[in-house]
């Protein structure tokens, strides 16, 4: 909740929000320390009773989604800060953001697992290419009484990458789709239209899906230990993934330049540890 919203709350509501914020922070801390979240553990840590905790969160699902929403937004701050030096170059920014996402995930495996590989958080998301590519308004998925904040945060994260993919398309267009063609337009989401009325073509949507699949797939394999540790430490697989994404985006000519971006971000984030 932003400062302006807080300013409109009554004193009692502000106190309630402060307690809710503490509950979410406590749950997130327990996730990192113990690799799980439980309402009982949160209540014990805060010196509350379980019934008192239920006055703030309705269920473990509710609390899990609130934690995930916070993780999304904190991660987004990291991504925005990382890509800032490459302002005006969406290709460099998408590679810098991807590298930052990978590094954050390796350093925060429990939060990555909760936010990006958990059935509870997955069910709260709506698959909306329009929201990711154009940053449109998000409606909570039907049948999800809790998790609206998580849904919105997930698409704020998605639109970080989506808007960069669209910016690359607007500058240079995309090459032909890969050897496996994109699904027919009618099989995808509704037609996506920007404020200026420019339709985002199937190639742009398909490119977003293909590049995200490679980034997420490689990152998840590394985070969950399904790749040899030496390969992870070398960064070789991730660099190869960035080359694949560059080809999909039609940036083959910039591969050496974009690999330098990977190196710069890796060095910068290593220095911050």
Extract the tokens encoding 161. 């990458």
Is 119 found in the same domain as 132?
yes
Residues 42 and 69 in one domain: no
Residue 65 has pLDDT above 90, yes or no: yes
* Across 199-226, average pLDDT: 88
Contacts of 43 (CB under 8 A, 6+ apart): 49, 50, 52, 53
pLDDT digits (tens, 9 = 90+) for 78-90: 999 999 999 999 9
pTM of the predicted model, to two decimals?
0.86
Distance from C-alpha of 111 to C-alpha of 121, rounded to nearest angstrom: 12
Confidence tier at 209 by pLDDT (50, 70, 90): confident
Report the half-sphere exposure of 180 (CA within 13 A, side-chain side): 5
- What is the C-alpha separation between 122 and 146, in angstroms, rounded? 13
Kindly state whether residues 53 and 68 are assigned to the same domain: no
Residue 128: C-alpha distances to residues 150, 154, 162, 191 (Å): 14, 11, 11, 11
The answer on 86 and 9 residing in a single domain is: no
Cα 81 to the chain's mean position, in Å? 15
Rounded mean pLDDT, 111-120: 94
Summarize pLDDT for 186-196 with one digit per residue, the tens: 555 444 444 33
Whether the per-residue pLDDT at 176 is higher than 90: the answer is no
Q: Assess whether 48 and 65 both reside in one domain.
A: no
CATH number of 77's domain: 1.10.357.10
**What pLDDT, on a 0 to 100 scale, did the predictor assign at position 88?**
95
Using the 3D structure, point to which of 16, 33, 57 is the last residue of a domain.
Answer: 57
Between 109 and 121, the more confident residue is: 109
Instruction: Let me know the angle formed at the C-alpha of 67 by 123 and 99, rounded to the nearest 5 degrees.
Output: 85
Q: Which domain holds residue 16?
A: 1-57
The more confident residue out of 148 and 140 is 148
Say yes or no: 150 and 245 in one domain: yes
From CA 9, how far away is CA 16, in angstroms rounded? 10
3-state helix, strand, coil in the chain (%, to 5): 70, 0, 25
Let me know whether 188 and 250 are in one domain: yes
Listed residue (51, 37, 35, 226) closest to 120, CA to CA:
37
Residues 153 and 202 in one domain: yes
Indicate the number of domains in the chain: 2
Q: Are 241 and 224 in contact (CB under 8 A)?
A: no
Angle at 138 (CA atoms; ends 191, 183), nearest 5 degrees: 30
Nearest residue to 174 via CA among 238, 269, 249 = 249
Cβ–Cβ under 8 Å, residues 161 and 208: yes
Are residues 179 and 211 both part of a single domain?
Answer: yes
Of how many residues is the chain composed? 273
Residues 6+ apart with CB under 8 A from 233: none
Q: Which two tokens stand for residue 218?
A: 């490689």
Same domain? 89 vs 141? yes
State which of 26, 41, 57 marks the end of a domain: 57
152 shares a domain with 247: yes
Residue that terminates a domain, selected from 57, 74, 100: 57
| Interatomic CA distance for residues 67 and 27, integer angstroms | 7
Task: Answer yes or no: do 68 and 13 share one domain.
Answer: no
Question: What pLDDT is recorded for position 136?
Answer: 58
What pLDDT is stored for residue 194 in this prediction? 42
Between CA 236 and CA 87, with CA 259 as vertex, the angle to 5 degrees is 135
Work out the average pLDDT over 28-57: 94
Closest Cα partner for 27 from 6, 1, 55, 53?
A: 53
């Amino acid at each position: 909740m932003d400062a302006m919203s807080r300013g409109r709350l009554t004193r009692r509501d502000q106190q309630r929000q402060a307690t809710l914020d503490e509950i979410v922070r406590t749950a997130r801390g327990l996730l990192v320390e113990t690799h799980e979240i439980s309402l009982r553990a949160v209540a014990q840590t805060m010196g509350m009773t379980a019934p008192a905790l239920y006055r703030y969160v309705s269920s473990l699902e509710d609390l899990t989604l609130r934690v995930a929403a916070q993780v999304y937004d904190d991660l987004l701050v990291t991504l925005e800060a990382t890509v800032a030096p490459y302002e005006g170059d969406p290709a460099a920014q998408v590679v810098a953001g991807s590298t930052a996402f990978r590094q954050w995930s390796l350093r925060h495996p429990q939060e990555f697992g909760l936010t990006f590989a958990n059935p509870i958080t997955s069910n709260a998301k709506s698959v909306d290419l329009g929201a990711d590519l154009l940053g449109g308004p998000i409606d909570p998925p039907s049948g999800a009484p809790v998790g609206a904040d998580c849904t919105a945060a997930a698409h704020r994260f998605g639109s970080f990458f989506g808007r960069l993919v669209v910016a690359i398309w607007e500058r240079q267009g995309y090459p032909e789709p890969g050897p496996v063609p994109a699904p027919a337009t009618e099989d995808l989401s509704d037609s996506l239209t920007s404020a200026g009325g420019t339709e985002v073509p199937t190639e742009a949507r398909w490119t977003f899906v293909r590049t995200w699949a490679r980034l997420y797939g490689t990152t998840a394999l590394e985070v969950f230990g399904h790749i040899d540790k030496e390969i992870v430490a070398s960064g070789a697989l991730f660099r190869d993934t960035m080359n694949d994404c560059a080809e999909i985006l039609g940036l083959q000519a910039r591969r050496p330049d974009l690999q330098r971006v990977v190196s710069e971000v890796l060095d910068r984030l290593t220095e911050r540890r």
